[in-house]
Amino acid sequence: MHRREFLRTAAVGGGAASLFASGGVVSNGAADTEPYRPLGRVAITNAKEAVVGNDGKTAFVATTDGFATVDIRNPKQPTVMAERHDLLAQRDGGPLLQIWDAKVDGDRLLVAGPANPIGSDAVHGFLLYDVRDPTDPKRVAFHETTFPIHNAFLKDDIAYLTGNDGDGNPLVLVNVSNDAPKEVGRWSMVDYDEDWGDVDPWVRTLHDVRVHDGRAYLAQWDAGTWVVDVSDPKKPAHVSHFGGRSPDDLASIPSSQEREAVVGLPGNAHFVMTNEDASLLACNKEAWDTDGPDTTGPGGIDLWDISDVTTPRKLTTIQPPKTDDPSYDLGASLSSVAAALSPVGVASGHDCHECGRGSSATGWTTSHNFDFVGDRLYTSWYSGGVKLFDVSDPENPTELAWWRNPSEAAFWTAQRVSDDVFIGGSMGQEGDGRGGLYTFPNRGGQQRNPPSLTGTGTASETTTSKPVTGGDGTTDSSDGGTSLTEEGRFGAGVAGLSILGVGVWKRFRG
Residue 397, preceding bond cis, omega within 30 degrees?
Answer: no
CB of 388 closer than 8 Å to CB of 366: no
CA 11 to chain centre: 33
Please list the residues that pair with 20 across neighbouring strands: none
Q: How far is CA 45 from CA 89, 425, 433, in A?
A: 19, 11, 7
- Position 290 scores a pLDDT of 84
Q: Which of 320-329, 448-457, 461-470 has the least mean pLDDT?
A: 461-470
> In 357-439, where does DSSP find H-type helix?
none
CB of 389 closer than 8 Å to CB of 367: no
Query: Phi, psi at residue 260, to the nearest 5°?
Result: -60, -35
Amino acid at 301: I
Inform me whether the pLDDT recorded for 58 exceeds 60: yes
Inform me whether the pLDDT recorded for 474 exceeds 90: no
What is the C-alpha radius of gyration for the chain, rounded to an integer number of angstroms?
21
CB of 158 closer than 8 Å to CB of 174: yes
Inform me whether the pLDDT recorded for 315 exceeds 60: yes
Strand residues in 220-369 grouped as ranges (E) = 225-229, 237-242, 269-274, 280-285, 301-305, 313-318
The arrangement of strands across the sheet holding 208-212 comes to: 208-212, 215-219, 225-229, 237-242
- Position 313 scores a pLDDT of 98
Inform me whether the pLDDT recorded for 484 exceeds 50: no
Inform me whether the pLDDT recorded for 459 exceeds 80: no
Q: Which of 206-215, 247-256, 263-272, 484-493 has the least mean pLDDT?
A: 484-493
Amino acid at 41: R
Q: In which band, very low, low, confident or very high, does the pLDDT at 457 lie, cut at 50, 70 and 90?
A: low
Where is pLDDT greater, at 161 or 10? 161
